[in-house]
Amino acid sequence: MKYLLYTFIYIGSFFLLPLTAKGQFDDKFYSPSKDYKLDADLKHQDIFFRIDEEEIHVLHLLPKEKAKASVLFFLGGGGNASTYTDMIRPLLKDAYQVFVFEPRGYGKSSGSPTHKANLADAQKVLDELILKREVKDQPLLIYGASLGSQVATTLAARNPEKIQGLILDGPMRSFTDIALAHAPEEQKAIIRQYLSSPYSAIKSIEQIEKLPKLIIASRADQAVPFEQSEQIYLLARDPKTFWEYEGEHLQASQHDPETFLQKVADLLADDSANGLQIDISIQKLRNSKGQVVVELKSPEEELVQRISTKIENRSAKLQFLNIEKGTYTFSWFHDENENGEFDRNFIGVPKEGYGFSNNAVGKFGPPPLLKRLFKVEVSTYMELYPTYF
C-alpha cells in the first residue's frame, strides 16, 4: 500500500518545519489521488451525496450474488476508493456489498479533506445509507483502514444502534500519535505541544460498550506501529477480537482471505452484544416534512436510546438494535421543523404530532406508565399512529 507509506513519510517531514500555534494541520495527513482506476470485472455503482455545496462520492461495490450484509468502508490517508479494491475483493466474493466512502478531495469527491469535515460527512452518509432499501434490512458493519480508523471508531461510538459491528484494520491511536511515530526524535516535543486531534480512535473505542469489534494488526506493519493497534484493542470493551497476522500494512485480507472472512463472519454471529431489536412503523403523519424522533426508555424512564429518521409518504420506519430482554417504554414526536425538540405553544399545547408505545393515549398529559410499558423477550414490532391538536 504505497499510498499509505507516502502519506506517513509526508507527515514526518512536515514536522521538521517550525510550528508556532496549536492546531490540527489537517492537510498534512491526507494524500488524495484523482487517478481513479477500477478493474473491469468489478460490479459497481457511483453514489453521490450533496453536502455543504460539495459532492461526496461513495463507491458501491456489489457482489455477484445477493448481498448478505453491508460494509461501510473508510479508506486510509492515500489514494482513493479504487486503491483499496484488492483488499475488499474477498468480501465481495463472500457476498458482502461494500460502500467505500471517499473524503473530500479524494477520487470523485469534490472539495478538500479536513478531520472535522470527514467525520461530519461520514455521519450524513451513514444516516442516508441505512435508509436505502438494499441496506436497511440487513446487517451493517463499519470498516476503518489505517487513517480511516479515526473516523470509523468515532462514528461507531456515536451510532452503536445503527450498526452490527466494527472492523479496525491497522488502526492508529490518534492523528497526533501517528505523527509522533513518524517524526524525528528531536521534533516530538513540539508535536506534542502543537498538534491536536479533534477526535481519536483511542478515546472513541472506550465509549463503545456492547458492539462486537475486530482489530487487525501485524508486527511487520511499517506504516502503523503494532503497539498502537494493540493498545486500541486493550482499551476496547468486550466483545472484542484481536487478529495478529503476518504481512505488511493492510494486507490481512489478501494474505489470508479464509481467516479474514471467518473473523468477519464471527463478528456478525456474536449474539452476546447484538441482542434483540424493536421495529417501529409510524403511519398517517399529516405530511412528509421533517423527521420522526423516538426515545426508548427503561421502566424508570431513563433514556436507553434516541433515534430519528426521515419521513417518506407520510410514514416512517425506525429500528432499535442491540436491545436486551426486559421491559421498556417509548415516546415519539413528528419533528416537522427538524429542531430536535418537541414544540409546544405558549400554554403548553403540542404544536407537533406525537405518540407513545402501545398507542397509549392520555387525557391531560402523558398516559400512565403502565399503559406504555411493553416487554421485549423476542424481537418486537409495533405499528403506531400520531395524535395532533
Please say whether the beta carbons of 128 and 101 come within 8 A. no
Buried b or exposed e, range 193-228, using 16+ CB within 10 angstroms: ebbebebbbbebbeebebbbbbbbbbeebebbbeeb
Measured distance CA(375)–CA(1) in Å, rounded: 50
**What 3-state class would DSSP assign to 50?**
strand
Measure the CA dihedral 328/333/339/343, to 10°. -110
Q: What percent of the chain has pLDDT over 90?
A: 74
| pLDDT tens, residue by residue, 141-184 | 999 999 999 999 999 999 998 999 999 999 999 999 998 988 88
Per-residue pLDDT at 38 exceeds 90: yes
Q: Say what the pLDDT of residue 272 is.
A: 57
Which tens digits make up the pLDDT trace of 194-220? 788 899 999 999 999 889 999 999 999
93-111 average pLDDT score = 97
Residue 306 pairs with which residues in a beta bridge? Answer: 295
pLDDT confidence of residue 186: 83
- What is the distance between the alpha carbons of residues 282 and 7, in angstroms, rounded to a whole number? 48
